[in-house]
Amino acid sequence: MSVGHIIKFYREKEGMTQSQLGDGICTATHVSKIENGKTDYSLEIIQLFSQKLQIDLQKESEKFEEIEKTLHSFNEALILNKIKQVESYRRILNNIPYLLSTKYAYFYQLVMLRYWFVKEEKKEIDALLGSLDKVEAWMNPYEKNFLLHMKGWHLIRYSSKKDDHYEAIAIFNKIQIAYYPNEEFYYHLALGYQYVGRQVMAYMYAEKALKYFKEINNYADAIKAESLLLLHISEDPYVDVKPMYNRLIYACELINDNDKKGMLLNNLGNTLLKRKEYNEAYQYLKESIRLCNKKGKVYIHRLFNYILVAVEGHLSSKKTLRKNIIEGQRIALELEEEVFIHLFKLLEYKLEDEQDKYQLYLAEKAFPYFKEHQHFALMKSSLKELVEMNQMNSSPQLTSELLGEAVQLI
């Protein structure tokens, strides 16, 4: 954007015509030529325009020269989770009112899109993604690949459907590193493969992401990538993963990252729960809840795990557990998290040892919901339970259709 474009922006903002701006200074034709960069102009004319528009054109020009550098710094701060710097760069860019009229408009909107991901503002994300989708054809290669990353991330973050995760994988695989050298997307690609059950591919891309995060000294995201690798290692019941998790938990304490620490405690607790090491699992899950904001999906997920291990390990009184389950059901209703409404109902039947009700609800309500909304992991675990129950008591609730699906998934 030239000085002329800055003049035009502020003139239009003030509701002035070219004739009004040029009155007593120069002709409207000359104003038009200056705005379009088609003629030279004297410093005196620029000073007179500045006075009329009540701006400092010299400072505005200096701001413009710094836009690209500031945008890259803003994006880098977001990647590295430097929140104080993020807000500082955002304020600087917010003070450039003509930013969306420059060639950096799409880049700015993409970085703001990433900002809203960090802030977890889904409405802002959806709105900005929708508007950027319409102008993708006019973006440069870097911006197009940036948008691909954000589209894939959106599907990974906000959808539980297996089809959406496959779509995200396809989108990530379109990204051209030559134009978009942000290999962070490998982590999101690893998550996509994890969600659809492609464990080898998930492990491979988690390793690539870890290598990249270490190269750029992004310790927080390196911990996330390592935690994903640990999920795969944990599948082997003969591997003692506690020292590995404790090393990462200590790393979180060193960088004062309680969010990552809570995630690791939750993952380790789940691993020990699967191994029926209930007492230790209970302690890790209890600590993960303590570190969690008592609102939102993360909390309800951890609360469910915490109650589940207490129920299965008989680690708390039924009275206390009933109270905890009621709390979980209340939060699930408030958040309109139907998947957890089903999970807490199943937990209620499990606590009361009502096996017939449990199996009937799982077969007729919970599993159909998991299937319809493509909750892949829950589909697998539900079918496995139904098959095992059928083998134990020859229950008629497990239909041949379900058994056929079980053969495909388990």
Q: Do 368 and 389 fall into the same domain?
A: yes
Q: Are 297 and 337 in contact (CB under 8 A)?
A: yes
* pLDDT at site 408: 57
Residue 231 lies in a domain: no
Q: Do 307 and 378 fall into the same domain?
A: no
Q: Do 257 and 345 fall into the same domain?
A: yes
Residue 287 lies in a domain: yes
Q: Do 344 and 278 fall into the same domain?
A: yes
Q: Do 258 and 349 fall into the same domain?
A: yes
Least confident of 55-69, 211-225, 287-301, 341-355: 55-69
Please report, in angstroms and rounded to a whole number, the separation of the first and last CA atoms in the chain.
59
What would the DSSP string read from start to end of 115-136? HHHHHT-HHHHHHHHHHHHHTG
Q: Please report which confidence band the pLDDT of residue 102 belongs to, taking 50, 70 and 90 as the band edges.
A: confident
Distance CA 116, CA 139 (A): 20
Q: Do 267 and 336 fall into the same domain?
A: yes
Given a cut of 60, is residue 398 above it in pLDDT?
no
**How many structural domains does the chain have?**
3
Q: Which of 256, 332, 255 is nearest to 296 (CA)?
A: 332
Q: Do 321 and 373 fall into the same domain?
A: no
* pLDDT at site 8: 84
* pLDDT at site 44: 85
Given a cut of 80, is residue 406 above it in pLDDT?
no
* pLDDT at site 109: 98
Residue 41 lies in a domain: yes
Picking from 55, 76, 94, the residue at the C-terminal end of a domain is: 55
Q: Do 273 and 336 fall into the same domain?
A: yes
For 63-67, which contacts have Cβ atoms below 8 Å and span 24 or more sequence positions? 63/95, 63/96, 64/1, 64/6, 64/96, 64/102, 67/93, 67/96, 67/99, 67/102, 67/104
Residue 197 CA: distances (Å) to CA of 156, 227, 232, 370 = 14, 17, 11, 16
Over the chain, what is the mean pLDDT? Answer: 90
Q: Do 348 and 403 fall into the same domain?
A: no
Residue 296 lies in a domain: yes
What percent of the chain lies above the pLDDT cut of 70? 95
What are 108-131's pLDDT values in tens digits? 999 999 999 999 899 999 999 999
Residue 327 lies in a domain: yes
Q: Which of 177, 174, 197, 256 is nearest to 223 (CA)?
A: 256
Supply the CATH number for residue 310's domain. Answer: 1.25.40
Residue 137 lies in a domain: no
Q: What is the mean pLDDT of residues 172-192?
A: 97
Q: Do 284 and 347 fall into the same domain?
A: yes
Q: Is pLDDT larger for residue 363 or for residue 35?
A: 363
Residue 51 lies in a domain: yes
Picking from 307, 328, 353, the residue at the C-terminal end of a domain is: 353
* pLDDT at site 246: 96
Distance CA 19, CA 27 (A): 7
Could you tell me the residue range of the domain that residue 12 belongs to? 3-55
Q: Please report which confidence band the pLDDT of residue 399 belongs to, taking 50, 70 and 90 as the band edges.
A: low
Q: Do 368 and 387 fall into the same domain?
A: yes
Does the predicted TM-score (pTM) go above 0.85?
no
Supply the CATH number for residue 29's domain. Answer: 1.10.260.40
What are 214-271's pLDDT values in tens digits? 999 999 999 999 999 999 999 999 999 999 999 999 999 999 999 999 999 999 999 9
Given a cut of 80, is residue 400 above it in pLDDT?
no
Q: Are 383 and 357 in contact (CB under 8 A)?
A: no
What are 317-330's pLDDT values in tens digits? 999 999 999 999 99
Q: Do 347 and 376 fall into the same domain?
A: no
Q: Please report which confidence band the pLDDT of residue 410 belongs to, taking 50, 70 and 90 as the band edges.
A: very low
Picking from 39, 55, 71, the residue at the C-terminal end of a domain is: 55
